[in-house]
Structure 1
Amino acid sequence: MTSNMLIPDFPFSYDKYIRHPAGLGHIPANSHGRKVAIIGAGMAGLVAGHELMKLGAHPVVYESSQLGGRMRSATFDGVDTPVADLGAMRFPQSGRTFFHYANAAGVQTEPFPNPLTSATPSTVIELAGEKFYAKTMDDLPAVFHEVSNAWRTSMDSVQIGEMRRAIKHRDTATIKALWDPLVASLDDESFYGFLARSPGFRDLPFHHREIFGQVGFGTGGWDTDFPNSILEVLRVVFTDADSEHHRIVGGAVQLPKKLWTLEPPHVAHWPRGTSLASLHRGGPRLGVARIHRNPQGSITVTDRLGNEDNYDAVVVTCQTWLLSARIDCDEALFSHKMWAAMERSHYMQSSKTFVMVDRPFWRDADPDTGRDAMSMTLTDRLTRATYLLDDGPGRPASLCLSYTWNDDAMKWLALDPHERVRLMLHSLQKIYPDVDIASHIRGEPITVSWESDPNFMGAFGNNLPGHYRYQRRLFNHFVQQELPAVEQGIFLAGDDISFTAGWAEGAVTTALNAVWGVQRLFGGRSHGDNLGPGDVFDALAPVDLDGNSV
């Protein structure tokens, strides 16, 4: 089992770096209090702000929507009601850097009820009108085992066992020796293309690939991911990012809220008890309308009401499309190649719809079969994936009627919440004809389509074939020593900048990259016993497919 989410492109141990007793180093006293604009109050922005504050800088956070970004939780009306996690809702245990902050903030987690896991009482898979009930994989028919074995064989062909062992032991030389050739050979390959030509599936009927697309591995079906780069998928399975998921009790937003008020025990320059909240007097600044280099050489940030302030550095954590679509950003702040990389970021659409129910009725036993009345459900119907989330017997519970991606998410976009629920219940009634789900629903539904949110324009990044070079430019940008002066001082962070877009771990680790970049810009250094990501960059850098710096 992989013990950490060590990304093969840049296998730096961020979890050890952030936990090291020496800390992240220092910035000189004459740089204490220098202001850094943090654009976006999601996980990346809050981690960057928190760590820069600890170093003695003055982070100023801007937020256009809600604290937490895509770690957004909504609460149903009523007393002691459950929450609906509209964005991030499951976090792999291998994401140790993320869990460092979760533990520091004191949030409570518990296993997430993914299909066929111990946290899920039962799972139903319904394909082409045929329904299969299972508590474990052993309960499923032989064809599902054939598909599982085919996937395992396909992963063996890219040396998954060797890679997982190297990641577990943090053997960076072996990780790079295994991974870099895969990047060169598979950058142009889609997930589906790899699957169809893989030794596990190429001699099997199309139906096996169809089942895999509907049921997949870990969290469920993956066919909406088929057009994306196979490298994206390999990173997930190599690092166990798709297994041993936990959810945050009380909703994912609990973590960013607690990070906002977290008072670190050791902080330079600021008095003991300083937090991001205490530096902001009421909340983050308004959303950003403009970023430009001023005649004095610093960077001016203008909010949506026209308020201006000048900064010695800026950390941008919003999705990259917003720098051209929503924010008037000086073109000269980034090279043309960087703008190309940002514009070619590929974002996944995602839609979720939740309802509150009076109690976790799905745990009722069917009087005829003894089976659960309803199960975590994977289907080829419109709903695709249905999750059952409860906080104990007798309490109101949250039912995620549908969680869909890409084309499946787009099918819901034009429908209002009540029409979505009506169609979802219609689909689920075909699978559970004897269960009156509607009779248990209380209050108004909660739904989201991330692609229609003007502050996001999509759920998370996921590279297409041939996009590795663009992702490498985005990730490498924090190392700015060779950049012209006009392009220095603005740093990109967020999960879409990482090689693991869609995972909170990537948001956290790229935030730490940006912190290292600001620290160096301000004349600071890492501690000699705890070198930072930029200090060891040359040794671990993502492979250059063209022999160029960008």
Structure 2
Amino acid sequence: MSPDTVTAFGPDFPFSYDKWLGHPAGLGAVPAKMHGAKVAVIGAGMAGITAAYELMRMGLHPVIYEPGQIGGRLRSQPFVGQTDIVAELGGMRFPKSSRAFYHYVNKLGLKTRPFPNPLTPAAGSTVIEIEGRRHYAETLEDLPDLYREVAEAYDSALEEGARFSDLKAAIAARDPARIKAIWDPLVAAWDERTFYDFVVSSDAFQKLSFHHREVFGQVGFGTGGWDSDFPNSMLEILRVNLTELDENQHMIAGGAAQVPQGLFAHSPVRPVHWPHGTSLKSLHNGAPRPGAAKIFRDDAGKLSVTDIWGSTQTFEAMIVTCQSWLMTTAIDTQEELFSPKLWMALDRTRYMQSSKTFVMTDRAFWRDRDADGREVMSMTLTDRLTRGTYLLDQGEGRPGVMCLSYAWMTDALKMLPLPTEKRVALALGALEKIYPDVDIRGHIIGDPITVSWEADPNFLGAFKGALPGHYRYNHRMYSHFMQDHHARAEKGVFLAGDDVSWTPGWVEGAVSTALNAVWGVMHHLGGRTERNNPGPGDCWKDLGPVELGE
């Protein structure tokens, strides 16, 4: 299927966010009397910046609270002595199906290039080493039959268990009726079953050996291991596969943090109410407010935020984009702002652990060829503690970047207590067993960079990983922007962020939920969309996610 046909369109809520964003009528308008009204935005990640930018364009006055840095988990940390050679500590590969996200990438004029995933032309070559056996490959066909058998078995399982081809065709055609006719029954069938259950119960995998399933978990079919997702709800994996979030991925040249940081500084053309040249940066006098310490409704009924230095402001509405656990652990959140059932969903969110370790090299030495004409080092998948090693060529005459280790869950927890130097030493020790003739250490320059997202008090994990039975929780969070039937005390606060979305860990979910919240704020303040460009709330009755009984 063409990479231009499949988008992150549904399947739970098949609404065209990219078309809503790109329509000349704009996202909608609020009454003139609300122009300049202040709206609090908690968090300056991609969701918070997207929401604030669109609220500003609408003539509202977003006030962003951020305890860390602009970008959230789009965190690009420059290496010593560099500005545009970075370690992508959070999101680093962005599928072209993420059309709403690329709306902003294109608005800022940022350049992208294919990400060197396993067995892609951008990688050049891939080495898979499992149980001490090493395979060099440039395409899937270069691998032993075992890997082709695993790939074919997974394709068959998807057809058997999810009518995969039919559903992808419906998504490519942007046909909501066809999508929902296939998808909605799958929600009930697979919500309470794991990804591992889906794999092992399929006819295709039952015909294969345990070792096939083991390989699928450790290194996939040469595309990357899946075992960290085995406990997750199968619905979460289906969404990723269906909308090609794991395919045709690009990286942002110079760093992904340029997108939220660029939007913070960007002056939109003809904003409502604000003078020409207004930006989020100018509205904030150069930087967001400090982090939020307390969110509540004051005695006069006004939504209020107290920052970490004790300053309190009141607002007409509020968008909360931080990870949900922070409203229990870090921000004193008034209990009455959310219903007990929503609190249950927020507290039951389960976050996945993730760690990365990067070094800069004097050049992309891995492109050198050995006596057999092979690249001396390759994108590497292994069952060793490094799990995935990515080689990021920055161009001729420039330093290179190695993501020595990209690990998840228990593999990430092994790194958690270790200092940077020990993490690098362990990764190099593992890689030197795979490449005994390559002097990796001799090419390292500058200082290494590493991250464990679960150790960051502003995140407490990389992103949500929904467990079986969590669909109802996800539905409560995702649908929260539809507030006409909420209790009065619960109106005016809107949730956004990728962990509110159906596709946690993917920036498209952050953008789309931010846009939901923008519609919610507009509606809450008496605004509306243009008839020829309805927003997500206008389409909810027809396109809304299927509800499972409580």
TM-score by length of 1: 0.98
Q: 1:80 to 1:481 in 2, by over 3 A?
A: closer
Q: 1:224 aligns with which of 198, 221, 228?
A: 228
- The number of aligned residues is 546
1:393 maps onto 2:396 in alignment = yes
Q: Separation in 2 of the partners of 1:413 and 1:89?
A: 21
Native 8 Å contact 2:119 2:223 kept in 1? no
- Once the two structures are TM-superposed, the CA of residue 25 in structure 1 deviates from its matched residue by 1.4
Deviations 1:140-185 (A, max 9, x none): 1111111111011011111111111100111000100100100001
How much has 1:393 moved relative to structure 2?
2.5
Q: Is structure 2 residue 256 aligned with structure 1 residue 256?
A: no
**After superposition, where does 1:59-458 map in structure 2 within 5 Å?**
59-79=62-82, 82-157=85-160, 158-216=162-220, 219-367=223-371, 369-458=372-461
CA contact (8 A) 2:355 2:406 kept: yes
Matching residue within 535, 540, 543 for 2:538:
535
Q: Do the aligned partners of 2:140 and 2:222 also contact (CA within 8 Å) in 1? A: no
Residue 204 (structure 1) shift: 1.1
Q: Which of 34, 37, 52 pairs up with 2:55?
A: 52
Which amino acid in 2 is paired with 1:118?
Answer: P
Whether the 8 Å CA contact 2:23–2:533 is kept in 1: the answer is yes
Distance 1:211 1:219 in 2: 11
Q: Distance in 1 between the 2:178 and 2:523 partners?
A: 30
Post-superposition offset of 1:80: 6.1
Question: 1:114 touches 1:218 (CA, 8 Å); kept in 2?
Answer: no
What is the CA-CA distance between 1:295 and the residue it aligns to? 1.3
Q: Distance in 2 between matches of 1:144 and 1:107?
A: 36
Q: Is the Cα contact below 8 Å between 1:114 and 1:219 reproduced in 2?
A: yes
Query: CA deviation digits over 1:272-328, x for unaligned, max 9?
Result: 111101101020000010001111111110000101100110100000000011000
Could you tell me how far apart the structure 1 residues matched to 2:338 and 2:81 are?
48
Task: Give the Å deviation of 1:3.
Answer: 2.5
2:504 maps to 1:493: no
Deviation sequence 1:93-149 (CA, Å, 0-9, x none)? 000011001101111111000000111110000000000000011101111111111
Deviation of 1:394 (Å): 2.7
Q: Name the SS for the 1:251 alignment partner.
A: coil
For the structure 1 residues 331 and 219, does the alpha-carbon distance in structure 2 shift closer, same or farther, using more than 3 Å as the test?
A: farther
Q: Is this contact kept in 2: 1:123–1:133, CA < 8 A? A: yes
**In structure 2, distance between residues paired with 1:52 and 1:216:** 42
Kept in 2: contact 1:81–1:396 (CA 8 A):
no
Cα distance in structure 2, aligned partners of 1:443 and 1:104: 34
Report SS of the residue matched to 1:543: coil
Q: What CA distance in whole angstroms lies between the structure 1 residues aligned with 2:30 and 2:179?
A: 33
1:14 aligns with 2:17: yes
Partner of 2:41: 38
> Per-residue displacement from partner, 1:31-75 (whole Å, max 9, x unpaired)?
111100000001100110010011111000111101000000111
Letter in 2 for 1:276: L
SS of the residue aligned with 2:27?
Answer: coil
SS in 1 for 2:282: helix
Moved more, 283-292 or 81-90: 81-90
Q: Contact (CA 8 Å) 1:81, 1:397: kept in 2 or not?
A: no
Q: Which runs of 4+ in 1 moved over 6 A?
A: none
With over 3 angstroms needed to count, the CA separation of the structure-2 counterparts of 1:67 and 1:218, relative to structure 1, is farther
- State the TM-score, normalized to the length of structure 2: 0.98
Contact 1:74/1:86 (CA < 8 Å) preserved in 2?
A: yes
- Structure 1 gaps of 5+ residues are none
Matched residues in 1 for 2:389 and 2:485: separation? 49
- Aligned-pair distance for 1:219? 4.9
Q: 1:144 to 1:346 in 2, by over 3 A?
A: same
Contact 1:264 1:273 in 2 (8 A): yes
Supply the distance in 2 between the matched residues of 1:55 and 1:199 (Cα, whole angstroms): 53
Structure 1 contact 292–330 (Cα < 8 Å) conserved: yes
Q: Which amino acid aligns with 2:37?
A: R
Deviation for aligned residue 1:79: 4.6
Q: Distance in 1 between matches of 2:532 and 2:314?
A: 34
Secondary structure class of the residue paired with 2:158: helix
1:196 maps to amino acid: V
Paired AA for residue 339 in structure 2: S
AA paired with 1:316?
A: V
Per-residue Cα deviation, 1:429-455 (whole angstroms, up to 9, x for no partner): 010000010111112110000000000
Change beyond 3 A, Cα 1:431–1:218: closer
Q: State the identity as a percent.
A: 57
Could you tell me which residue of structure 2 aligns to residue 465 of structure 1?
A: 468
SS in structure 2 of the partner of residue 236 of structure 1: helix
Alpha-carbon separation, structure 2, partners of 1:282 and 1:528:
37
Q: Is the 8 A contact 2:148 2:221 kept in 1?
A: no
RMSD: 1.0
* Equivalent position amino acid for 1:104 in 2: K
Measured in 1, the distance between the counterparts of 2:223 and 2:44 equals: 27
The Cα shift of 1:257 comes to: 1.1
1:201 is paired with a residue whose SS is helix
Q: How has the CA–CA distance of structure 1 residues 488 and 81 changed in structure 2, closer, same or farther, with 3 Å as cutoff?
A: closer
